[in-house]
Amino acid sequence: MKKKLVFALIMGVVTTGIISFSLISINIGFVSKFMAIWLKSWLMAYVIVIPAILVIAPKVERFVEYLLKEKAEGNKNKIQ
């Protein structure tokens, strides 16, 4: 569980930083209060995304395992 929490915290910082920076620069440009707006948006996004990553990631992992298992079984049937 510790590994998943650390992953979520780091991934959250990176993804929310990139997305918030990109969208704010596109939508309002580099105005005088850009840094303050960006940091506020980044913090808000980070607070929202961490619980989302912790809740959604296990479901996505199971879905990916299901997809890859099904694909592997399909390939196995083709070989035989």
Query: For position 39, what pLDDT does the model report?
Result: 95
Domain limits, the chain? 2-79
- DSSP-assigned letters across all residues of 14-70: HHHHHHHHHHHHHHT-S-TTHHHHHHHHHHHHHHHHHHHHHHHHHHHHHHHHHHHHH
Find the mean pLDDT for residues 32-54: 93
pTM of the model: 0.67
Instruction: Decide if pLDDT at 23 tops 70.
Output: yes
Which residues lie closer than 8 Å to 4 by C-beta, 6 or more apart? 54, 57
